[in-house]
Each structure stands twice: as structure tokens, then as C-alpha cells.
């Protein structure tokens, strides 16, 4: 029940963004792709702004996938990718975690360089593992600041 409500709320947050994606001729992420990301957050982080975190992670995923398509669709893929990056940052900033921003920045730097050197496609499994890890890290920080044991 909690999981289903959580997913519905994120879908509501991103409803307009998915419509924009579809109106531009792209498919929304599949249920499996979306829920893998939402689940990675839900299972590892219990604090405030979980929806924002899940939405940020989803927008970042779509941003990276689109920015691997500029040879096929230079105009729409580049522009929509930039849009999803702006949405990612809008969802991320209210979470107000310096460490989280640092981790995403490092991931993006590494991935940008990798894509120009190797062009291996977006590493989905590696990204899900990354989302789980940052969620766990946020949870650890939350528990520590609340005085719980780690």
C-alpha cells in the first residue's frame, strides 16, 4: 500500500514531464525502469523528501539517456535532455543535502567523460546501484542526526 501510494505520488509530480516527453515523440520509461529507481529509494531511505529524491533520480536517468542520442536526434534529444536536467535540479535542491549534490556531480563528470571515450550506452545497473547507495547514505546521515545507532 505504502509502495503503491509512493509510486502514484511520484508519477503525479512527473506527470507534465512525461507528457512533454511523449509529445516530443519519445516513450516514457517503462514501468520496470521507473519502479527500479523508485524502489531503490523507497527501500533505502526513510526520511523526508523521499518523493523528491525518487523524482530527481528519475529525471536524471531520463536526462542521461536522452543525451546519448544527439547523433540520431540532435535537436530534440539535446533540448529535452537539458529540460530533464533542469527538472532534476529542481527536485534535488529542496532535499538540501551537500553530499547528495556532490555524489551526483561526480557521477555526471565521470559519465560524461566515459561516454566521450568509450560510448558504451548509459550504465543502467550501475545507476540503480548508485541510487541505492546515495539513498543509504542519506538514511545513515538522517539516523545519525536523529541520534539513532548506525
Nearer to other proteins, 28 or 76 (CB): 76
The yes or no reply on residue 86 touching other proteins (CB under 8 A) is yes
Residue 103 Cβ vs other proteins, minimum distance, rounded to whole Å: 10
Nearer to other proteins, 94 or 133 (CB): 94
Alpha-helical regions (H) of the chain? 2-13, 15-23, 31-42, 50-66, 74-92, 98-117, 124-145
Q: Angle 124-145/50-66 helices, nearest 10 degrees?
A: 160
**Chosen residue from 15, 19, 43, 113 binding other proteins by CB under 8 A:** 113
Residue 39 Cβ vs other proteins, minimum distance, rounded to whole Å: 25
Q: Is the dihedral of CA 68, 93, 140, 47 positive or negative?
A: negative
> In the 3-class helix/strand/coil scheme, how is 100-130 assigned residue by residue?
HHHHHHHHHHHHHHHHHHCCCCCCHHHHHHH
Q: What stretch of H or E contains 15?
A: helix 15-23
The yes or no reply on residue 71 touching other proteins (CB under 8 A) is yes
The grid cell for 126 is 550501475
**Chosen residue from 12, 96, 133, 148 binding other proteins by CB under 8 A:** 96
The yes or no reply on residue 95 touching other proteins (CB under 8 A) is no
**Chosen residue from 19, 22, 46, 79 binding other proteins by CB under 8 A:** 79
Nearer to other proteins, 54 or 92 (CB): 92
Number of residues that bind other proteins (CB under 8 A): 38
Amino acid at each position: 500500500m505504502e509502495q503503491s501510494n509512493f509510486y502514484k505520488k511520484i508519477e503525479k509530480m512527473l506527470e507534465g514531464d512525461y507528457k512533454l516527453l511523449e509529445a516530443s515523440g519519445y516513450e516514457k520509461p517503462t514501468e520496470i525502469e521507473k519502479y527500479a529507481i523508485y524502489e531503490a529509494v523507497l527501500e533505502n531511505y526513510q526520511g523526508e523528501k523521499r518523493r523528491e529524491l525518487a523524482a530527481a533520480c528519475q529525471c536524471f536517468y531520463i536526462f542521461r539517456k536522452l543525451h546519448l542520442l544527439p547523433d540520431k536526434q540532435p535537436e530534440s534529444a539535446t533540448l529535452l535532455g537539458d529540460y530533464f536536467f533542469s527538472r532534476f535540479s529542481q527536485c534535488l535542491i529542496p532535499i538540501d543535502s551537500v553530499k547528495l549534490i556532490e555524489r551526483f556531480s561526480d557521477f555526471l563528470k565521470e559519465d560524461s567523460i566515459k561516454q566521450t571515450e568509450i560510448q558504451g550506452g548509459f550504465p543502467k545497473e550501475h545507476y540503480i546501484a548508485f541510487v541505492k547507495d546515495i539513498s543509504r547514505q542519506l538514511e545513515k546521515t538522517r539516523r545519525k542526526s536523529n541520534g539513532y545507532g548506525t
